[in-house]
Structure 1
Amino acid sequence: MLTQALLVDDSRSVLNFLKRHIEAEGLVEATTFLDPVEALACARERVFDLVLVDYEMPHMDGISFIRVFRTLPGCADIPIGMITSRQTDDLKMEALQAGATDFLPKQPQSVEMTVRLRNLIQLGAAVRKLSDRAAHLASDVAAATRKLGEREEEIILRLALAVEYRDNDTGEHTLRVARYSRIIAEQLDLPARLCRDIYLAAPLHDVGKVAIPDNILLKPGKLTEEEMAVIRTHATIGERILADSSCELIRLGAQIAAGHHERWDGAGYPNGLRADAIPVAARVVAVADVFDALTTRRPYKEPMPLEVARNYLVENKGRQFDPACVEAFLSRWDEVVEIAAGRLDTRSPI
């Protein structure tokens, strides 16, 4: 790829000379402007590898041009040579402080100009290669990070499904809860990243059930008080399984596992947290989990009609549930109905 040079000088003869000279070896393609304002407009739309600008021009001098050019996106490191017949120390210092890289004497046939110009061309090409390499490396890092994230998400989902398959033939409860949770998080206007993370971490809410004996977890009838006490330990167990992970999603899952049975009025378990003391992700999943539990068949009960379950949420907002989470959930009721009926894809939240 040819090095792209931007040449700015109010003298057409100087521009023509510079263009011929800089393109002589076939390594550079030059774009010329008599007007520095027009040159800056072009630089906002195109990428250049090298800039040569005259010092004395109408409308804008070379130093002012350099200052503006350096503020343009991607132009902080592009080599800039200032062409001037004035070689005072004050002028050079001002130009360097503005962002000039080098100075070219306004003596077209001088050896000094030829050497300095060659050095600037080489520097421009080197900066372009470094920039391209940095962009390539950034792309590789982004791809690797994305792949790592996808693997973390898959591990989370499969861990959640492994638990869910113990008391559900399809594991779809876990996936529906994830989608209900995303609806609530989005309607609460939580940050997009947090909505995504709640969506992905929600399936871990019941991971602690892995430690609950089958004779209690799968019991077809009503549980005794002693058995209910054992069931309630799954919240604390889930938190212990997931806590202190280096993975942000799993740490969020620990919050959800620990808090999704807390109640807005403080009467929940395991810690009796109240209102905003309950992490928002746990408050979100509490609504999603209870609604799905009410509306699906379990070993000990038949499913509740959707409208009846809806009324249950309304009646218990401000007591069992965060009122804002209930309102957020109900605001997209048509979508909730589709998910509950299995008409929206519930195969994987990833």
Structure 2
Amino acid sequence: MDDARIRDARILVVDDLELNIKLLENLLAEAGYRRVFSTTDSRQVAQLYRELSPDLVILDLHMPHRNGFQVMEDLREIEHDSYIPVLVLTGLPDHATRLRALEAGARDFLSKPFEHVEALTRIRNMIEVRLLHNEVREQNRILEEKVRQRTQQLRETQLEIVRRLGRAAEYRDNVTGMHVIRMSHYCAELARAIGWDDEACEMLLHASPMHDIGKIGIPDRILLKEGKLTPEEWEVMKSHATIGAELLSGSTSPLMHMAMEIALSHHEKWDGSGYPKGLKGEQIPIVGRIVALCDVFDALTTERPYKRAWSVEEVIAEIDRQSGRHFDPNLVEAFKSILPKILQIRERYTEKAATTAAVARHTGGHQRLVPDEKHHLPPYFQPQG
């Protein structure tokens, strides 16, 4: 290793006798060490260690206030997951003392009175080990940071794909695609209101936009039909739940598994009258119950070419009526308790600007009636054809 690096190492000498400190300082100075610090008060060692981050601590064992063993306990708390560079000074070379010192964290010993060449050799060896340890730790830190950045990039890429999948399905029958953005934020807030932690809420935020991904597999003649669907067409329309689940199945990702559960279950109803499986009550996954409520709230409070926007009061009254029938009663109460937050989200992600841009893009500046999610709403909300 480069001598200059070794001579530039930070050394902290701890001994209650000023004479011993002076002797070591002179020895180290003659050997070319430029950064030597010292103290006769063992109570100051922990603070000095934090401030200096020394590459070597030359430590006497027998001192007033805090002996060397207690000082090493202090250093272990500071360097709990790293190498503690302690060279013990001792006039007691017995086996028991050495063993106790090693167990406390000492890496080597220097017996008093020490021979100069031996002392300098042991000091140099320990500094080399410490500097190599620091190099490895820094390389590991850099590697971990690169892995973290790469993992974050992969996660952002995955989330971008997820968002685009959700928007792709929504754009087939929604002018703006803002519905999935609002609805997903509603879902995250509702989950938080019932006690979910931040990580689970964030996963739901990203998984819920894929609830209607199965609409990609519904023929345009049915999905975009402006009139009322025939019973046969309605059966095809309902199949978007199973199509979506199939599209999202088979992944080991917890996010994709949650999205698959949502796609399959968000049209189930509390009383068992929903589809595709007719699940009832708590048989329905909680994520499906959350999305069902938030999805309908946003659909009804949003104006579309085929219907006016219901007032918030009208929607809440209808949700109350459907509590225990369509919706989980506990979720209904939790939703009403966070209604101010829901309305803030609704205001933040308004349709107006997005609709203007989207209509111009899709129709060349001329308004076009789009059936939107009218076939996606529960039958009691659907327009009459």
1:333 corresponds in structure 2 to: 339
179-188 vs 114-123, which moves further: 179-188
- TM alignment of 1:37-186, pairs within 5 A: 37-43=43-49, 47-74=53-80, 76-186=82-192
- TM alignment of 1:223-234, pairs within 5 A: 223-234=229-240
CA drift of 1:118 comes to: 0.8
The one-letter code of the counterpart of 2:9 is T
1:221–1:300 contact (8 Å) kept in structure 2: no
1:206 corresponds in structure 2 to: 212
d(CA) in 2 for partners of 1:30, 1:187: 58
2:75–2:84 contact (8 Å) kept in structure 1: no
Counterparts in 2 of 1:20 and 1:157: CA distance versus 1, 3 Å: farther
d(CA) in 1 for partners of 2:27, 2:230: 93
1:85–1:106 contact (8 Å) kept in structure 2: yes
1:295–1:304 contact (8 Å) kept in structure 2: yes
CA drift of 1:29 comes to: 3.0
Counterparts in 2 of 1:3 and 1:260: CA distance versus 1, 3 Å: farther
How many percent identity over aligned positions? 37
d(CA) in 2 for partners of 1:238, 1:164: 13
Aligned residues: 347
The one-letter code of the counterpart of 2:193 is Q
d(CA) in 2 for partners of 1:226, 1:186: 39
SS at match of 1:262: coil
Per-residue Cα deviation, 1:103-134 (whole angstroms, up to 9, x for no partner): 12223543211110111111121122222221
1:17–1:108 contact (8 Å) kept in structure 2: no
CA drift of 1:89 comes to: 1.7
143-152 vs 295-304, which moves further: 295-304
CA drift of 1:276 comes to: 3.2
Counterparts in 2 of 1:311 and 1:19: CA distance versus 1, 3 Å: farther
1:105–1:112 contact (8 Å) kept in structure 2: no
The one-letter code of the counterpart of 1:190 is W
2:263 corresponds in structure 1 to: 257
2:186–2:294 contact (8 Å) kept in structure 1: yes
The one-letter code of the counterpart of 1:324 is N
Counterparts in 2 of 1:202 and 1:31: CA distance versus 1, 3 Å: farther
User: Which blocks of at least 5 consecutive residues in structure 1 are unaligned?
Assistant: none
CA drift of 1:137 comes to: 1.3
Tell me if 1:220 matches 2:229.
no
1:32 corresponds in structure 2 to: 38
- TM alignment of 1:229-308, pairs within 5 A: 229-298=235-304, 301-308=307-314
d(CA) in 2 for partners of 1:314, 1:26: 83
Tell me if 1:188 matches 2:175.
no
Per-residue Cα deviation, 1:15-46 (whole angstroms, up to 9, x for no partner): 23334444656666344232223212444566
CA drift of 1:3 comes to: 3.3
Counterparts in 2 of 1:125 and 1:342: CA distance versus 1, 3 Å: closer
2:364 corresponds in structure 1 to: none
SS at match of 1:127: helix
The one-letter code of the counterpart of 2:217 is A
Structure of higher CA gyration radius: 2
2:10–2:52 contact (8 Å) kept in structure 1: no
Per-residue Cα deviation, 1:269-320 (whole angstroms, up to 9, x for no partner): 2223333333222222111111112222456544322221122222223332
d(CA) in 1 for partners of 2:251, 2:10: 49
1:264–1:319 contact (8 Å) kept in structure 2: yes
The one-letter code of the counterpart of 2:309 is P
